[in-house]
């Protein structure tokens, strides 16, 4: 990575708790990575890899991610996800990786499409978030054979 580094979550647990207080640590999370700036080691985001909530008995995982808004739209998340996708497809030999993003989140929609994901559909009234705001969720997937095409 040129600008960011992926750090196993247990290495910087304190930083994770401070920056990502909104993230709950669900037991289903398998692989957690912090995203940090190389020049000063500031933690700017997190990527979680957990069980795919849709697929059954397929070598598949689901991604969730968060990036501090100050660093949004600067390529940091794309750079980190490219490294992680390579690891998941080559080292873990996954067949599919899925992701979800609120339909109102245009930046995530464009990010996932730029990485080769395609939108499989939308789940209306899917998530009740902060202050009881309800969001529709876009469902995305990337098959191993489609990756890097």
Which of 24-28, 29-33, 111-115, 135-139 has the least mean pLDDT? 24-28
Q: Which of 119, 123, 126, 124 is nearest to 141 (CA)?
A: 119
- Could you give the C-alpha distances from 110 to 26, 77, 117, in angstroms and in order? 27, 12, 10
> How would you classify residue 8: left for phi > 0, otherwise alpha for psi between -120 and 50, otherwise beta?
beta
Condensed to tens digits (0 to 9), the pLDDT of residues 44-101 reads: 888 889 899 889 999 999 998 988 888 889 999 999 999 899 999 999 999 999 999 9
Model pLDDT, residue 10: 40
DSSP track, 36-52? EETTT--EEEEEEEEE-
21 alpha-carbon distance from chain centroid: 17
Is the model more confident about 109 or about 149?
A: 109
Condensed to tens digits (0 to 9), the pLDDT of residues 4-24 reads: 445 444 434 444 444 444 344
In terms of DSSP bridges, do strands 43-51 and 29-37 run parallel, antiparallel, or are they unpaired? antiparallel
């Amino acid at each position: 990575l040129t600008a960011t580094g992926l750090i196993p979550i247990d290495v910087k647990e304190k930083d994770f708790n401070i920056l990502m207080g909104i993230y709950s640590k669900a037991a289903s999370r398998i692989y957690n990575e912090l995203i940090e700036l190389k020049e000063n080691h500031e933690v700017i985001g997190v990527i979680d890899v957990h069980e795919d909530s849709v697929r059954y008995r397929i070598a598949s995982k689901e991604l969730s991610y968060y990036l501090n808004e100050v660093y949004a739209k600067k390529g940091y998340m794309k750079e980190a996800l490219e490294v992680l996708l390579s690891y998941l497809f080559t080292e873990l030999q996954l067949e599919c990786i899925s992701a979800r993003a609120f339909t109102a989140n245009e930046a995530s929609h464009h990010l996932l499409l730029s990485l080769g994901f395609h939108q499989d559909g939308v789940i209306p009234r899917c998530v009740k978030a902060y202050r009881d705001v309800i969001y529709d969720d876009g469902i995305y997937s990337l098959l191993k054979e489609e990756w890097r095409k």
